[in-house]
Amino acid sequence: MTPYKHKTIVFLFFILFIGITKSFAQNTKRPNIIFIMTDDQSSIVPTKNDTEVQSRPFGFNGDQDVHTPIIDGLAKNGMIFSNAYVSSSVCSPSRYTMLTGRYASRSKGTIFMKQHPLGTMTRVENNTEIENDLDNLPKLLQQLGYKTGFVGKSHIMEHDKLLQRKNWVKHGFKEFDKEANPNNEAVSEAAAHNHQVWVDIIKEYGFDYANAVYGGNLKEVYNDSLNVHNVEWKNKAAIEFIEKNKDKPFFLYYSETIPHGPAPWIKRNGKYIFSLDANPKFTGEGYVNETYSYLPTRQEIKNEIKSLGKDQNHSWLLWFDYAIGAIVNKLKKEGIYENTLIVLTSDHGAYNHGKTTLYESGVKVPLMMHWPNGIKANSVYKEQVQNIDFTPTFLELAGFNLKKVKTPLDGVSLKNVLKGKQKPVHDYLYFELGYARAVATKNWKYISVRYDQESEQKIQNGQLFNGWQGSKIKLPYYTRNSHLGYHSSRHNPLYFQRDQLFNLENDPHEQINLHSREEKKLEELKVILSNCLKKFKNRPYGEFIN
């Protein structure tokens, strides 16, 4: 062999080695994580028999009447989870679980503990708050060198500031009339000040960056004109976070407000007054004179849906789809797309008023994950996963030893699932909401409804409970929110039954209660529920835990 040929072969091997090394490094590098969440979106496809306009899921959930090509493309080239659930079907507890890996009834938040001192039964609802002195996902990621960002809706921090508007000045907020015009400079400045107060609060809980945030829902800005969805405003903040942290591993919590009420499909005088036809300069920080030329205009979005012959009531989904596309484009531009895990889900469902119930319509959600370096395209996972699993999954992918998490996690890591393993990671799932608790295997679900001692005594004495709008009812709603309780109980006729057993394979919409016909299965699931409840120390629940 001539010296020239020898050098050529060595050089080619060197180039091959470098290529393999770079490929290996790229595939083993800790991923960026973008966790994107909609608000009140079920994975269930509405039917023609539904009497109300429903919040539709994405195309990858099987909905043929929506147009979400970007999101569906990410799902197809990633992993779709067909049995994804949350443990509580209302905003605050579900978000608490996502950011801690703990069930919401483990909360040590001030309001929660005041309502439920140790030794009493918990009633999980929108009373759950992330604790400032305990581990959570962003704080642990910060320890690993991740930059953490928060964009969008909170509803998981300091509810005393959020809900007690009479104490706003005391908490550092500025007041203005609910009917005030945000075009007024003083009103807009007050709204911007209040927005900054929430930004500062959110940063205290483990986030390096916070922008385009809401302390709660849109209505908690307490201004009629600002009670509108603004996808562009939040999207630009998300892109800004990526721009600032593109050279470091990062975690972005990107929480949309759609399709939570005011519903984006509500029309008045032919206009979607709370979404696509609202003033795009009206935001959670008042009037913002910003342009979003990198996105289609709202009118162009409506025109596209019309040209496709799709239902314009769900143009909001394409609006959101383009926002996700802008995130993808930014990642590609910065050369970090391949090693970014994009997760898209919802905080809970709301199909047929399943919100604040433990029916599939409330706890089953859309979920897809996309990560070119880590997930094989066209992947589908059909086994059960739950929002308790997000925190351990993200931590393990970031390199955290889960055994060293000081506050125990209730979920499990899905790292092996993302690698293609198809084995179940859960034998069953546990659910909690208000007075209800449930467990579900892949094909069976048991829902129990039990009351605290005081309520139980009232029931036995024949006393009535407060319902919605001054009405009186024989049994209390699961949650203290009578509006949600009224609609949930009205649309779900089995709501008040104390023991509910469903064969999910034969009865996916949970219409037939088999508790008196399948006694053996009922007792089997009761034992599972009892064992789950024993893990919550000093928390009674009916005859299960006295």
DSSP 8-state code for residue 222: -
Amino acid at the residue 187 = V
Res 408 pLDDT > 60 = yes
Tell me how far apart the alpha carbons of residues 221 and 286 are, in angstroms, rounded to a whole number. Answer: 9
What does the mean pLDDT of the chain come to? 93
Stronger pLDDT, 425 or 23, i.e. the higher one: 425
Stretch 402-425: mean pLDDT, rounded? 96
Res 415 pLDDT > 80 = yes
pLDDT of residue 436: 98
pLDDT of residue 27: 41
* Cis upstream peptide for 259 (omega within 30°): yes
Q: Give the tens place of pLDDT for each residue, 132-180.
A: 999 999 999 999 999 999 999 999 999 888 877 777 888 899 999 999 9
Q: Give the tens place of pLDDT for each residue, 208-237.
A: 999 999 999 999 999 999 999 999 999 999
Stretch 403-429: mean pLDDT, rounded? 96
Whether the Cβ atoms of residue 187 and residue 160 lie closer than 8 Å to each other: no
Whether the Cβ atoms of residue 282 and residue 274 lie closer than 8 Å to each other: no
pLDDT of residue 165: 77
Sign of CA dihedral 127, 128, 131, 137: negative
Q: Is the pTM of this model over 0.75?
A: yes
Res 349 pLDDT > 90 = yes
Query: Please, which residues have CB within 8 angstroms of residue 5's CB and are 6 or more apart in sequence?
Result: none
List of domains in the chain? 34-153+227-426 (3.40.720.10), 431-533 (no CATH)
pLDDT of residue 142: 98
pLDDT band (50, 70, 90) for residue 17: very low
Q: Give the tens place of pLDDT for each residue, 21-39.
A: 333 333 448 999 999 999 9
Q: Give the tens place of pLDDT for each residue, 75-128.
A: 999 999 999 999 999 999 999 999 999 999 999 999 999 999 999 999 999 999
Q: Give the tens place of pLDDT for each residue, 493-524.
A: 999 999 999 999 999 999 999 999 999 999 99
Q: Give the tens place of pLDDT for each residue, 469-499.
A: 999 999 999 999 999 999 999 999 999 999 9
Of 254, 249, 225, 250, nearest to 238 (Cα)?
254
pLDDT of residue 11: 40
User: What's the 3-state SS for 445-512?
Assistant: EEEEECCCHHHHHHHHCCCCEECCCCCEECCCCCCCCHHHHHHHHHHCCCCCCCEEEEECCCCCCCCC
